[in-house]
Amino acid sequence: MAAMVALPLPCFAQGMLLTLLDGEALVIDGDKRLAAVAGLHLAPAAIVETGANTAITRVEWPDHTAVDLGPGTRAMLAPAGFPARSGRLPLVYLLQGWAKVTGPGKVPAGGVLTPAIEVLPFAGAAVIVADRQERFVFAESGPLEVLDRGAAGARRGLATGSLYTAAGVLPRPTPGWLSSVPRAFRDPIPLRAALFKDRVVSASVLPDPTYVTLADWLSAEAAVRRDFPHRFATLVRDAASRRALQAHLSSHPEWASVLNPSR
């Protein structure tokens, strides 16, 4: 049976707060795996992974920025290791899935990174999709810019209502694409952080991360994983995870000094 931990009253002025959950999701905060629950206070670089049937998971920032995550999504919040753009650090590294970012009015929200593209800081709302074959950015409200992180490094501007695709920018989304957007993304959802101002929540502690549960993150780009040997140091004490780290060392060479300190 999973253990339960009582979480302290969230100091929302200092961090991120998970404010809405419709379905199942897990959080890796530091080196701990937790069953997501509304009211959970998150530290920088927390990883959120949603279930295939999860309608929405929302995280809110102190400045009223909101990030909604859709089904089958893996995201790192406030990732370290990436430069600021226009004075704003990235909000999200979207490894896979759907994210909707809504900024706090005229003040630009931080940008969004995926393995293939970067959405630069913007004011308004945008929907970003990342997977191995496709990538999309929908400028729901307000213009924005998308930077190709590949060798070309092209930067493309999007007007409100337009859709970025790998093949180019469309003046408006196709009906087929619109039908694929998670239903929970289609209407504005009011901010909810104030509901948790004086509440204490309890979260179920899940089994510790293993190589299998972290595999996609451990093989992500170097800036994402650079702190992992320290953050997930317990992996080397699990025999199966240690063997897997050694077998796939070329995918995460920063573990070499931990696995083979004599070298």
In a domain, 203, yes or no: no
Instruction: Say yes or no: 44 and 173 in one domain.
Output: yes
What kind and span of H or E run contains 204? strand 202-205
Identify the pLDDT of residue 155: 93
Instruction: Say yes or no: 221 and 163 in one domain.
Output: no
As for how many domains the chain has, the answer is 2
What kind and span of H or E run contains 214? helix 211-218
Instruction: Say yes or no: 100 and 218 in one domain.
Output: no
Supply φ then ψ for residue 166, to 5 degrees.
Answer: -60, -25
In a domain, 163, yes or no: yes
Instruction: Say yes or no: 156 and 227 in one domain.
Output: no
How many CA atoms are closer than 13 Å to the CA of 91, on its beta-carbon side?
28
Instruction: Say yes or no: 165 and 68 in one domain.
Output: yes
Predicted model pTM: 0.92
Instruction: Say yes or no: 57 and 183 in one domain.
Output: yes
In a domain, 204, yes or no: no
Instruction: Say yes or no: 191 and 253 in one domain.
Output: no
Find the CATH number of the domain harbouring 98.
2.60.120.1440
Q: How many CB atoms are closer than 10 A to CB 262? A: 4
Instruction: Say yes or no: 245 and 173 in one domain.
Output: no
Give the integer Cα–Cα distance in Å for 120 and 84: 10
CA dist 254 → 39, 45, 49, 169, 251 (Å): 34, 18, 24, 38, 9
Q: How many CB atoms are closer than 10 A to CB 217? A: 20
Closest CA to 164 of 119, 206, 200: 119
Identify the pLDDT of residue 79: 97
Going from the first residue of the chain to its last (263 residues), give the mean pLDDT of each consecutive group of 10, the final group possibly shorter. 42 72 97 96 97 98 96 97 93 98 88 97 96 91 94 89 95 96 95 90 93 97 96 96 97 95 73
Identify the pLDDT of residue 263: 62
Give the integer Cα–Cα distance in Å for 9 and 193: 12
CA dist 250 → 37, 40, 65, 81, 219 (Å): 36, 35, 37, 20, 9
Q: Domain span at residue 225?
A: 209-259
CB 254 within 8 A of CB 129: no
Instruction: Say yes or no: 23 and 117 in one domain.
Output: yes
Instruction: Say yes or no: 184 and 214 in one domain.
Output: no
Identify the pLDDT of residue 15: 82
Instruction: Say yes or no: 216 and 191 in one domain.
Output: no
Instruction: Say yes or no: 135 and 215 in one domain.
Output: no
Give the integer Cα–Cα distance in Å for 250 and 6: 40
